[in-house]
Structure 1
Amino acid sequence: MWGKIKSLFSSESQKEGAAEEEGEKPEDPPTDQEIVEKLEKGEEEEPKKEKEEDSDDAGMWEETFKTHTDSKPNGPTSVGLDFSLPGFENVYGIPEHADSLKLKTTDSGDPYRLYNLDVFQYELYNPMALYGSVPVMLAHNAHRTLGIFWMNAAETWVDISSNTAGKTLFGKMLDYVQGASEIPQTDVRWMSESGIIDVFVLLGPSPSQVFSQYASLTGTQAFPPLFSLAYHQCRWNYNNEDDVLSVDAGFDEHDIPVDVIWLDIEHADGKRYFTWDPNKFPNPKDMLEKLAVKKRKLVTIVDPHIKVDSGYKIHNEIRSKDFYIKTKDGSDYEGWCWPGSAGYPDFTRPEMRSWWASMFAHDQYEGSTENLYSWNDMNEPSVFNGPEVTMHKDAVHQGGWEHRDLHNLYGFYVQMATSEGQISRSGGTERPFVLTRAFFSGSQRYGAVWTGDNAAEWDHLKISTPMCLSLGLVGISFCGADVGGFFKNTEPELLVRWYQIGAYQPFFRAHAHLDTTRREPWLFGEDNKQLMRTAVRQRYALLPYWYTMFYHTYRTGEPVMRPLWVEFPEEVNTFNMDDEFLLGKALLVHPVTEQGARGVQVYLPGKGEVWYEVHTRQKHTAPLSLYMPVTMSTIPVFQRGGTIVPRKDRVRRSSSCMHSDPFTLYVALNAQNFAEGDLFVDDGHTFNFEKKKEYLHRKFTFAENSLMSRCADPQGRFETQSWIERVVILGAAKPASVHIKLPDGNESSLDFEHNAETSVLTIRKPAVNVASDWIIYLR
């Protein structure tokens, strides 16, 4: 067909040229309709034989940019669709972009681009493509929320325009003159280079219903092992085994908890993944076992570019099984990356993913143990000598699919295979932990993501909040930014503020570039060390709440870290806010992101809602905008009235060491003297909560001056030694006495203390197992 169309234009051009030579007026070129009619009737003129041969040349559609050529063997294609959203002027989503939470109109600039790329020092407030792509947009107004899921993994552009519903230009002018009201409208154009139109409209109408509808299509966030919600220490690179163990010991010496230490590319033998540098890491099992004694883990990087080396087992097996992606000519595709010349496995092939998963078995990954986990980087995929530092679009996957058709899925498949490898090595019992840089819709099922190679700058600290919020809205709750900034050396104030924010973002990892100075918290002076230590310990105290939130997002798809409008959908003031956020329903966090800040303007949402400052216990009634002075010690954090937050205030060196420790319940009363919350407890690392129903889910309710603990899910059973150590009630009047009643009818009095200035009641040692039913009465 393309040859026929080209021959039509060629013959018409020849006739036009001849007419000009004879001084005749050239005929008008054929219209599109005339071309179609000629094709249908078979009336196209036959060009000379050599011209016909030219039209069939394989390179007739190829394009060249700089030194790269895209052959486009199937010709140019594209698909697109326009959506008009009357009544909506706020749209969100389509990560990943380093931009504000609310998406901007693109009338005067480039559209938002979705094309996974290895971007070096990305620009802020820019629609440029970054490491991951989730083609999901949410629209929200005071009456409803809806979503659009454009299921296409090719390069995609999203154009956004602000308009007025159902109005012509004349109509708008007339409304302006008459002072009539207008209905806002957002117009969205989706354009993808290839594929088909496969789109889902999520009708809501509430935010939680949109999250549920999207989760029914792509799945919910995987329920992570507890240790992965704790603190991670990373840099490119810890030099050797002694360095790793020295850092590990440093956290103990300075009484800072840590759960995971990370190794970047220099740990491997010549960047050959699944190996260890024999000089730097001669005894990796011994190193891992020393970490395991302290209940700590190690993460190693496993990238998908495989060094072309006949002495490398991984390369030889992939080549012998013919699992590499091919060039358009059928040879193995090779590009340049960290190890030099590298091949790229075709992770779209199920048999390739199964083989990759088998490489994580302990008898295949030499030196590995059960406390070793994985990090997939450079999986956009990154090709240093490729167009835009990625793979050529005309590379070929199994089934003849061009890379252009599924580019944004590559990292998704890499993380999937790695996750399956961790599960299979344990016989299906242990939950995996895999961090990925590249992602797509559905990546939430396989682990965590981070925002890529940021910089040690205040603006990068600030942008981490809207970037994580955008990811949460499209299902990826387990996200975070490199604490301290990846590029450049950081200053102490910036690093402290980053720890204070990172402690309230879902994935909490410090990371730094090879050329930066060392960043361990104890290297910045005693005062700064204590500030960072406090931030990390706050994270550990809140791990029961984090874990329970992730259980809920696993069940419902609702984001853990969420914009204010998700909880207060009718409150217009919140629609454009991205400098503060909610963790679940209970906690509101306002980061400090300005250098030398002495105060921040905080907005507390909800008509008649009560909010308590976590650090001072001061009570505020919303809606309220207030200026809060800040010091270097804390950032503003509030607990919402009507909620109960479980904590473990005995912080130890790792989360697993706290497994059987007691809980403290923080009960924040609302204006009706009511509060509720819950707690999910299991072993913290296996699938037994699902396969064997080995878990506890407790429901706590405070009403009519009594606090009740009841089973929230009778299907679950789990034995634990943890007990309730304290109950702290915010906004409570002083009672005459406090009693606890157990299921056997026995009732006993409890010690308590009341602070009249802050209206905080502290009940000491109820001393009941967290799995039991009980009622505490205030009389």
Structure 2
Amino acid sequence: MNPARGRAQPTSHLSLKRTLLRSALVLSAALACVSAVKREDFKTCSQSGFCARNRAYADLAKETPNWMSPFQLSSSSLKLQRGVLTGDLINTQEDTQASSKLGLTFELHLLENDAVRVRINERDPVHPRYDGVQDTVLVKPYEFAKDSTYQRVDTDNDGIFTIQYGAQNQNTVKVSSSPFKIEFFVNGVSTVVLNDEGLLRLERLRDKSKEGGDDTKLVDQAPEGGEIKIEKSELERKMEENLWEETFKGSTDSKPRGPESFGLDITFSGIQHVYGVPEHASSLSLKPTKGAGAAYSDPYRLYNLDVFEYELDNPMALYGSIPFMLGHSKNSTAAVFWMNAAETWVDVEKTLSDEQDSGILSWIKAKKVALKPSTKTHWISEAGVLDLFVFLGPTHRDIFHQYTSLVGTTALPQAFSIAYHQCRWNYNSQQDVTEVDAGFDQHDIPYDVLWLDIEHTDGKRYFTWDHAKFPNPVDMQQSLDAKGRKMVTIIDPHIKKDDNYYVSKQGAELDIYIKNKDGESSFEGWCWPGNSQWIDFYNPKARDYWASQFAYDKYQGSTKSLFTWNDMNEPSVFSGPEITIPKDVLHYGNVEHRNVHNLYGTMFHSATAQGLTQRNETNQRPFVLSRAFFAGTQRYGAIWTGDNMATWEHLEVASPMLLTIGLSGIPFSGADVGGFFGNPDAELLTRWYQAGIYYPFFRAHAHLDSKRREPWLFGEPYTSQIRDAIRTRYSYLPFWYTLFHETSVDGTPIIRPMFIEFPEDEAVFALDNQYMVGNALLVKPVSKPGVTESEVYFAGNEKWFDIKSYKWEQGPGVKKVASPADKIPVYQRAGTIIPKRERPRRSSKAMENDPFTLVVALSSQGEASGRIYLDDGESYGYQQGDFILREFRVSNGKLSSHNLKTFNNKPSDFVQRIGSLRIERLVIVGEEKPLTKVTVGDKSVEFSSQKIVDGSYVYIVKEPGVAIGEDFEILLR
């Protein structure tokens, strides 16, 4: 839910009375007004001082012949001990000697997981740079590489320090001293280069009183005290603008510590496609922002913001930020993680190979020799230390594992949370909830969760109920729970300033609010409740207090079936600059907000998840949805793409947005089905449901002013089409839950770009209108009106089977396939086995004792494999081995099941009960020869067949007499 709703923004210099009045009018207008994004509310790079300065530096480097980085690494200072290379980094334009206190510290960490960390900091700054991001983002202290896993090669005559590392010493890092550069190789091939363009730049912290307060120095002092006029280029002038105070739309950032930004170029050598740095409503393969063919004039911005009705196809910042980028080519894969939570901008430029100068290029073009493309990126952050990780894989799975071993994998969610969620702003009353719930039953449509937005509270006071509208919240939740259904209520980080509101009063008494820049008074701003204050989640006392509020005796009217939605946690501040909190306010420990802005929402998310966990003696897993996110958010719950619109274009962009977020470490994500703003027609809504059932987080949501659009309200044939889509999601829940377990272990995304499964197929590198669910399902959403036929690219030299008809298409190549109103193209990949439950029920809880179906899609060699993971879906018992994990495999005409669980604990009652549930049906597709006999042990089993096309059969084996949790062998002859 977005706070803006078409508002005009009050400025920070209005009187309090005018601010309150204007904000009240804004809130009133918000409920009735819908308009496009107000671009003028948000900065461009040219309006963000540090971005403009660093971009000017990049332009100066490009325009200067024979540009060379002024940074040099003192070769004599380099020391490699226990996996850490350290040294002195000198800026030759500023530092006079290696021992100068102005020098920088350089560290290169070789990690046990084969990642490499690079850190650059000021040696003796005027003020310590903030270095606390690692304490929040990294899950635990990592292990350094053992001496036996790397080989040191001494500095050569050219000042290059070389280290070979990796499981097979396949990786090499070369650190060049003058000019400073770090180059990473995989099997001798250059893959990632740091400072290749010489754009490393660091603004030292300084004393403003010694600067004279001028932003632009036009004179230097002569030795005798006179002035020497210095002529500066336009770019050099830009590099000295907005160093201190900076104003945007009437709001002034005091920047008390002065400028402290830094930038670095990172080149992906031989790699044309890079992905990541969400959140942006753009393509999967990042479009260039500089150079020939630039699609955007601004860099990609990472700064968590509440952007009203966000535009498509631009690099504007949105609700979340993850500074992770992955590059991929046919021959190499690499990634970087820029660990900084301050405002960050990233330029992308597609170029030719680095080693080719213009003369050579002319010769190559004349000879028509193929050129090797590279992607140059320029990363710019406002504050903190330069701290990044480099991952060289060599495979995507290796990179996902390396990255998530540092920032954490997705918390295994409760089973209900991956089913269907029904939401709008707002369900009006307890009676409304009862009627909507009954409507699902009446129309035989399953759902698991019903959501309540801000209007359920008493005057926007969180942890309260409007008892006129919801007189018996416990009864309401228990009524849903009796059907296996849950409820979610919204709880935001802004606290209504009201002495009669217990949270407001206790927060003041405990002194746990964010402070103004004076460090004394609490920051106040305007949000949904009116005048509000914000909990400072960097204060341990604040986190503990917040978590304690979810206890049943404190959150009156809550039950174990009530879960939480964290919205507005960018944080959104209606009266703030760019609709967020000022950068110079202070957190616990006198940390300026500018250093941790992009982490605030994650800290809030974490404290809420902690509260939901500790409220139960049984340690029930939490479910918390967050709008803002950063690296590490996945440890606490799900996210969604924010306030989208009911348009075909927003349906279309949902796929690349979710794929990008998943690649960046947060696989549990979704987009509001139907679009939040506006009124979808029946066709758009139906097509969105058909796509949405393949989002990891599957929720329908709508704006207060949108027309009601529960799944049955458009009548036939749409009700039946939507019902069929939702039931399809439920039938695949065992498959989805298995994928969630997989990502909780190794970080592999749940929905995947095609290139993850087909890394050598260049046709899929930029493909983002179709994708894989796990390694088994190919999904192609329909995102245009009136479509009855779709073009689908079938990758690999294998068959793909329609999940409804089992008709198959042979890859590789583009095929036109039917996509009538009642279905979108979804195909199961040959060589896979998918577990399903196919009995329609009212909720996922009602399915937990149902039998299973295995859909076996045979490869051309007659082989297939797949897995199933099962646990109680609620508790943390799985951490003690209370689960089932089995692999199914077909080989040599035999379907077998064997245990993959490594725990040796005694099976619990749950494991024994679930494990005894039967497999009621086998569906075997892709068999190229007639099947004459199916036997289990010495027992023959009946089966039926249907010939679909020449040479391919579908066989249905009913009641094979085996259980899901037991070892078995079924002979298929």
The TM-score, its normalising length taken from structure 1, stands at: 0.93
Query: Structure 1 residue 125: deviation in Å?
Result: 0.5
Contact residue 220 and residue 228 of structure 2 kept, 8 A: no
Query: Structure 1 residue 76: deviation in Å?
Result: 1.7
Q: SS of the counterpart of 1:439?
A: coil
Q: Distance in 2 between matches of 1:555 and 1:243?
A: 41
- Which of residues 269, 292, 307 in structure 2 aligns to 1:119? 307
Higher share in helix: 1
Contact residue 347 and residue 378 of structure 2 kept, 8 A: yes
- Aligned ranges 1:422-433 → 2 under 5 Å: 422-427=612-617, 429-433=619-623
Where does residue 968 of structure 2 map in the other structure?
774
Contact residue 818 and residue 825 of structure 2 kept, 8 A: no
Q: Distance in 1 between matches of 2:539 and 2:724?
A: 47
Where does residue 52 of structure 1 map in the other structure?
none
Deviations 1:434-453 (A, max 9, x none): 10000000101111000000
Query: Structure 1 residue 6: deviation in Å?
Result: 2.9
Deviations 1:629-668 (A, max 9, x none): 2210100001011100000001200000000100000000
- Is 2:943 aligned against 1:752? yes
Q: Distance in 2 between matches of 1:194 and 1:65?
A: 19
- Which of residues 456, 476, 487 in structure 2 aligns to 1:298? 487
Q: Distance in 1 between matches of 2:495 and 2:558?
A: 19
Q: Distance in 1 between matches of 2:961 and 2:687?
A: 37
Q: SS of the counterpart of 1:6?
A: coil
Q: SS of the counterpart of 1:763?
A: strand
Where does residue 932 of structure 2 map in the other structure?
736
- Is 2:219 aligned against 1:28? no
Q: Distance in 2 between matches of 1:473 and 1:420?
A: 26
Contact residue 734 and residue 756 of structure 1 kept, 8 A: no
Q: Distance in 1 between matches of 2:774 and 2:300?
A: 29
Contact residue 229 and residue 546 of structure 1 kept, 8 A: yes
- Which of residues 266, 269, 276 in structure 1 aligns to 2:458? 269
Where does residue 804 of structure 2 map in the other structure?
615
Where does residue 722 of structure 1 map in the other structure?
917
Where does residue 823 of structure 2 map in the other structure?
634
Query: Structure 1 residue 11: deviation in Å?
Result: 11
Contact residue 806 and residue 948 of structure 2 kept, 8 A: no
* Letter matched to residue 363 of structure 1: D
Contact residue 734 and residue 761 of structure 1 kept, 8 A: no
- Is 2:371 aligned against 1:176? no
Q: Distance in 1 between matches of 2:841 and 2:348?
A: 49
Q: Distance in 1 between matches of 2:741 and 2:482?
A: 28
- Which of residues 550, 574, 595 in structure 2 aligns to 1:405? 595
Where does residue 356 of structure 1 map in the other structure?
546
Where does residue 697 of structure 1 map in the other structure?
885
The TM-score, its normalising length taken from structure 2, stands at: 0.74
Q: SS of the counterpart of 2:612?
A: helix
Q: Distance in 2 between matches of 1:490 and 1:621?
A: 36
Contact residue 689 and residue 725 of structure 2 kept, 8 A: yes
Query: Structure 1 residue 7: deviation in Å?
Result: 8.2
- Which of residues 949, 955, 964 in structure 2 aligns to 1:761? 955
Query: Structure 1 residue 621: deviation in Å?
Result: 2.1
- Which of residues 201, 207, 210 in structure 2 aligns to 1:4? 210
Deviations 1:376-430 (A, max 9, x none): 0000000001001000010100111111110000000011011111110113521
Moved more, 373-382 or 99-108: 99-108
Contact residue 729 and residue 761 of structure 1 kept, 8 A: yes
Contact residue 220 and residue 229 of structure 2 kept, 8 A: no
Question: Structure 1 pair 231/9, CA: closer, same or farther in 2 (3 Å)?
Answer: closer
Deviations 1:203-234 (A, max 9, x none): 11111111001011101011111100000000
Query: Structure 1 residue 169: deviation in Å?
Result: 2.9
Q: Distance in 1 between matches of 2:221 and 2:783?
A: 68
Q: SS of the counterpart of 2:961?
A: coil
Question: Structure 1 pair 501/342, CA: closer, same or farther in 2 (3 Å)?
Answer: same
Where does residue 325 of structure 2 map in the other structure?
137
Q: Distance in 2 between matches of 1:674 and 1:383?
A: 57
Q: Distance in 1 between matches of 2:821 and 2:326?
A: 36
Q: SS of the counterpart of 2:228?
A: coil
Q: Distance in 2 between matches of 1:7 and 1:261?
A: 56
- Aligned ranges 1:188-337 → 2 under 5 Å: 188-329=377-518, 330-337=520-527
Where does residue 372 of structure 1 map in the other structure?
562
- Is 2:583 aligned against 1:393? yes
- Aligned ranges 1:336-355 → 2 under 5 Å: 336-355=526-545
- Aligned ranges 1:34-53 → 2 under 5 Å: none
Q: Distance in 2 between matches of 1:377 and 1:476?
A: 17
* Letter matched to residue 753 of structure 1: S
Question: Structure 1 pair 317/9, CA: closer, same or farther in 2 (3 Å)?
Answer: closer
Where does residue 436 of structure 1 map in the other structure?
626
Moved more, 499-508 or 755-764: 755-764
Where does residue 898 of structure 2 map in the other structure?
710
Deviations 1:442-483 (A, max 9, x none): 101111000000000000000000000001101110011000
Query: Structure 1 residue 30: deviation in Å?
Result: 10
Q: Distance in 2 between matches of 1:15 and 1:706?
A: 87
Q: Distance in 2 between matches of 1:12 and 1:187?
A: 33
Q: Distance in 2 between matches of 1:459 and 1:468?
A: 15
Query: Structure 1 residue 760: deviation in Å?
Result: 0.3
* Letter matched to residue 290 of structure 1: S
* Letter matched to residue 771 of structure 1: G
Where does residue 679 of structure 2 map in the other structure?
489
Q: Distance in 1 between matches of 2:845 and 2:215?
A: 72
Where does residue 676 of structure 1 map in the other structure?
865
Query: Structure 1 residue 8: deviation in Å?
Result: 10
Moved more, 285-294 or 7-16: 7-16
- Which of residues 244, 250, 255 in structure 2 aligns to 1:67? 250
Q: Distance in 1 between matches of 2:329 and 2:216?
A: 53
Q: Distance in 2 between matches of 1:14 and 1:459?
A: 55
Question: Structure 1 pair 127/30, CA: closer, same or farther in 2 (3 Å)?
Answer: closer
Where does residue 382 of structure 1 map in the other structure?
572
- Is 2:637 aligned against 1:447? yes
Q: Distance in 2 between matches of 1:105 and 1:471?
A: 19
Q: SS of the counterpart of 1:533?
A: helix
Q: Distance in 1 between matches of 2:625 and 2:433?
A: 20
Q: SS of the counterpart of 1:756?
A: strand
Question: Structure 1 pair 386/756, CA: closer, same or farther in 2 (3 Å)?
Answer: same
Among the aligned pairs, what percent are the same residue?
Answer: 49
Where does residue 596 of structure 1 map in the other structure?
786
* Letter matched to residue 723 of structure 1: R
* Letter matched to residue 73 of structure 1: P
* Letter matched to residue 963 of structure 2: N
Contact residue 96 and residue 129 of structure 1 kept, 8 A: yes
Q: Distance in 2 between matches of 1:638 and 1:369?
A: 41
- Aligned ranges 1:401-550 → 2 under 5 Å: 401-427=591-617, 429-550=619-740
Question: Structure 1 pair 231/419, CA: closer, same or farther in 2 (3 Å)?
Answer: same
Q: Distance in 2 between matches of 1:552 and 1:577?
A: 24
Contact residue 429 and residue 688 of structure 1 kept, 8 A: no
Q: Distance in 1 between matches of 2:392 and 2:216?
A: 49
Q: Distance in 2 between matches of 1:760 and 1:280?
A: 54
Moved more, 427-436 or 283-292: 427-436
Contact residue 598 and residue 630 of structure 1 kept, 8 A: yes
Where does residue 110 of structure 1 map in the other structure?
298
Moved more, 460-469 or 422-431: 422-431
Q: Distance in 2 between matches of 1:192 and 1:494?
A: 40
Deviations 1:741-770 (A, max 9, x none): 2xxxxx211110011235001101123221
Q: SS of the counterpart of 2:279?
A: coil
Contact residue 430 and residue 686 of structure 1 kept, 8 A: yes
